[in-house]
Structure 1
Amino acid sequence: MTEPFGARLRHAMDERGPLCVGIDPHASLLTEWGLTDDVAGLERFSRTVVEALSDRVAVFKPQSAFFERFGSRGVAVLEKTVQEARAAGALVLMDAKRGDIGSTMAAYAEAFLRKDSPLFSDALTVSPYLGYGSLSPAVALARESGAGLFVLALTSNPEGGEVQHAVRADGRNVGATMLAHLAAENTGEEPLGSFGAVVGATLGDLSTYDLDINGPLLAPGVGAQGATPADLPRVFGAAIRNVVPNVSRGVLRHGPDTGALRDSAERFADEIRSALPSA
């Protein structure tokens, strides 16, 4: 039986540090690397990132949209990227932000969370804004496959507030409600639950929220979006040990030089370690 994602993530974070590096082949970034904005450039970009960093980062987060834009050939590159990254020992969090109801949600889950799927990933980002219960097929399949989910809860984009900060009849806002659902999913799990939240590192003081969900907190926004590793303790407080800071452009802009990619990732990893409280 596959060890649950939360346990595998805890081990990877303890051994390699908590850094998550995005694989985001923007058209502009391909150009900066001197690559063509086509499938060949996409494949070269993705292979370079995986070869440079797969032995030293805990998590890769490929953004599926940048592969899907090339159609079936782009998705084939994504499949290969996922498989090569996992084979090299890194965990893969697929950033696809899927969300729907019933059989459609089940099909999305099968695409990314079924063990024999070409796109099987260790975890998947999902959107709960058709109601948290709409994620049930993904929750069930993640449990069965030993995979995990990261649910959008308190995102860093300014538009997110109109939904996530909306107050329910019980006085709790939507973002806090998502955190409470995840805490319930992770009850009793050790050393870490498999159902995490996406919580932006750029949001400032979040002390009014209960971030202790016994699960991981994916923290986008470090690097190019303005947050620094030193900001993490102030934002996440006592939950800091379960934070998975995501850096994309801050590392990727140093390619295609393999050594420069490694040096940049190591610098971020060291800064994150320095920001964590001593055990």
Structure 2
Amino acid sequence: MSSLEPFGARLRRAMDERGPLCVGIDPHASLLSEWGLGDDVAGLERFSRTVVEAMADRVAVLKPQSAFFERFGSRGIAVLEKSVEEARAAGALVVMDAKRGDIGSTMAAYAETFLRKDSPLFSDALTVSPYLGYGSLSPAIALARESGAGLFVLALTSNPEGGEVQHAIRADGRTVGATMLAHLAAENEGEQPMGSFGAVVGATLGDLSSYDLSINGPILAPGIGAQGATAADLPHVFGAAARNVVPNVSRGVLRQGPDVVALRESASRFADEIAHAVSGV
């Protein structure tokens, strides 16, 4: 059995205590340049340490984008390991944005990388892709349950290309995206105060009333800020499920760096706007 309380319970408490804001750690080349940093491991380390210092003791969730670390090879992965360790030590939950998806032993290996408790990259949750079939996620689901971790499954993403798969109609009349939401509702059935298996649903998608978002789990919602969605859109897009939404803001906050105070003030503004927007839900 896991020594960790289930991710859903830990996330619900963090959201209630700190607000639901998730801030990305996305050290892509353009942001490193905006911060006056080199596009190298030293710049990567400075960027990541600054975001963790500014955010980890006050936001509910930090979400490193693994690809921006992986591109620097083993030294970049070492920076990612340290960032995860320091963020969790400061009280933030870490959602590793790696969007892994494969079958059999390969999916199991990805799961062990991010969800095994003694892994250097152990994270509180992992983003995964179900588009080799939802059943292909079984090794990650099993290990997440064992470790007290969670998953965020791509369901209705904000990128325009996603629609050709996610809105495709199955033989039973449901869309593929709706099918993924139904699978997650089944995973979370009966869990209190919230299940550990969440969906990724874009905040830019507009009215989603035709989809059943009542999955009894968290909904990671990218798109606020630079992608054009606002906190005020959350009740319209997510309806009654807005209380379980974890809105992700990356560039909207990160562009205020490298000044720690400016980063904190920006995150606080987004957090206040989100709290106001969902207060009546």
TM over 0.5: yes
Give the corresponding residue for 1:145. 147
Verify: 1:27 aligned to 2:29, yes or no: yes
**Pairwise CA distance, 1:278:** 3.9
Q: Does the residue aligned with 2:228 lie in a helix, a strand or coil?
A: coil
Give the corresponding residue for 1:211. 213
Q: 5 Å matches for 1:12-161?
A: 12-161=14-163
CA distance in 2 between partners of 1:277 and 1:86 (Å): 28
Q: Does the residue aligned with 2:102 lie in a helix, a strand or coil?
A: coil
Give the corresponding residue for 2:225. 223
CA distance in 2 between partners of 1:86 and 1:277 (Å): 28
CA distance in 1 between partners of 2:124 and 2:260 (Å): 25
Q: Deviations over 1:241-267 (max 9, x none)?
A: 000000000000000000000000000
Verify: 1:4 aligned to 2:29, yes or no: no
| TM-score (norm: length of structure 2) | 0.99
2:239 maps to amino acid: G
CA distance in 2 between partners of 1:258 and 1:48 (Å): 7
Give the corresponding residue for 1:258. 260
1:4 maps to amino acid: P
**Pairwise CA distance, 1:212:** 0.3
Q: 5 Å matches for 1:187-206?
A: 187-206=189-208
CA distance in 2 between partners of 1:52 and 1:152 (Å): 28
Q: Does the residue aligned with 2:23 lie in a helix, a strand or coil?
A: strand
CA distance in 2 between partners of 1:120 and 1:177 (Å): 29
**Pairwise CA distance, 1:190:** 0.2
Q: Deviations over 1:225-256 (max 9, x none)?
A: 00000000000001010000000000000000
Q: Does the residue aligned with 2:24 lie in a helix, a strand or coil?
A: strand
| TM-score (norm: length of structure 1) | 0.99
CA distance in 2 between partners of 1:253 and 1:33 (Å): 8
Q: Deviations over 1:45-82 (max 9, x none)?
A: 00000001111100000000000000000000000000
CA distance in 2 between partners of 1:251 and 1:181 (Å): 33
Q: Deviations over 1:89-146 (max 9, x none)?
A: 0000000000000000000000000000000000000000000000000000000000
CA distance in 2 between partners of 1:122 and 1:83 (Å): 11
CA distance in 2 between partners of 1:53 and 1:160 (Å): 31
1:130 maps to amino acid: L
Give the corresponding residue for 2:270. 268
CA distance in 1 between partners of 2:17 and 2:61 (Å): 12
CA distance in 1 between partners of 2:279 and 2:55 (Å): 25
CA distance in 2 between partners of 1:272 and 1:140 (Å): 33
Q: What stretches of structure 1 of length at least 5 have no aligned partner? A: none
Q: What stretches of structure 2 of length at least 5 have no aligned partner? A: none
Shift >2 Å, 4+ stretches: none
CA distance in 2 between partners of 1:47 and 1:244 (Å): 23
CA distance in 1 between partners of 2:55 and 2:153 (Å): 26
Q: Deviations over 1:181-227 (max 9, x none)?
A: 00000000000000000000000000000000000000000000000
2:278 maps to amino acid: L
